[in-house]
Amino acid sequence: MLAAEGEHADAADLMTQALELVPGWAAGWFCLADYEEKSGRKEAAVDALRKVLELNPDDIFGATLKLAFLNGAEAGSPSPSLHVERLFDDYAHRFDTSLVVKLGYSVPETLSALIWEHVGEAHLAYVTDLGCGTGLFGERIRARTDYLEGYDLSANMLAKAADKGVYDHLAQADLSLPPETSGLFANHKRHRASLVSAADVFLYLGNLDSAFILAGELLAEAGLFAFSVEDAGNDGDVVLRQSLRYAHSRDYVLRCCGVHGLTVLAIRETVIRNDGGNPVSGILFLARKSA
């Protein structure tokens, strides 16, 4: 109640008293860090986050990201996998309504439109949808796709995607891991996909080299890679935002494409959703794997 009324210093003091009774309560320490940060006591917030990681090394709360943001550390490390998995497991049942209806999420429509502008009337033989979530992108390309597979870290999101009946194959995979250990190649054959998509996936990855290597492993010769990023503007190549999501600059993505043998076919800057009542700028890319 104190926090809801903006009395964050008093909320922090009360939480500190609670933690004297239950010092092993990791979630309580994470709440304390939030209250301390909002009351302007940054160092106390950092100390509380370090306690969170001491009690919960797997980092279900995303404390490492919060520490990086508060300390102004160089961005690049992926979001903790367990944190992202649990975040979307909890979010799955209301994901479509919250994201599309309330936040005006538009990447699936805009990205699919960008693809059709370059593909024309042709069908896509084999599509791999990375970070498929509940299947919002898959729904929009199914009619012109011969085989569609989806991969996601969250089992609950995959279950929602399965309910829609648009995918030929769904499986759990961790895109923050190297290709050999990500779980993608248990069923997928290398160099087979005519399109690899990643709609609103890279905001949890930071450095994108591993993602581009993975796309190269998945794509057939001359295959298409369609993806979106939050726009970092002039703030840097890879920027960790207060939302604890990563934004990437246009120039950084273009360099990644060049290094990993991708020719950029189209770029579209657009508002990808709203966050806290404010529009979030993004960039959509369509690239082709070079021969």
The pLDDT tens digits for 265-290 are 999 999 998 887 889 999 999 999 98
Domains annotated for the chain, with CATH where assigned, are: 8-73 (1.25.40.10), 88-289 (3.40.50.150)
- Residue 73 pLDDT greater than 60, yes or no: no
The pLDDT tens digits for 9-54 are 999 999 999 999 999 999 999 999 999 999 999 999 999 999 999 9
Question: By C-alpha distance, which of 288, 148, 122, 132 is closest to 219?
Answer: 288
The more confidently predicted of residues 87 and 141 is: 141
Q: Which residues contact 54 (CB under 8 A, 6 or more apart)?
A: none
The pLDDT tens digits for 154-194 are 999 999 999 999 999 999 998 888 777 777 776 657 789 99
The whole-number average pLDDT for the span 75-84 is 75
Question: By C-alpha distance, which of 243, 187, 185, 235 is closest to 214?
Answer: 185
Cα 31 from chain centroid (whole Å): 23
The pLDDT tens digits for 97-152 are 877 777 888 999 999 999 999 998 889 999 999 999 999 999 999 999 999 999 99
* Whole-Å CA distances, 66 to 37, 52, 86: 10, 11, 17
Return d(Cα 144, Cα 220) in angstroms, integer.
18
What is the reported pTM?
0.86
Alpha-carbon dihedral 59, 61, 62, 66, rounded to 10 degrees = -120
- Residue 75 pLDDT greater than 70, yes or no: no
Strands 262-275, 278-289: pairing is: antiparallel
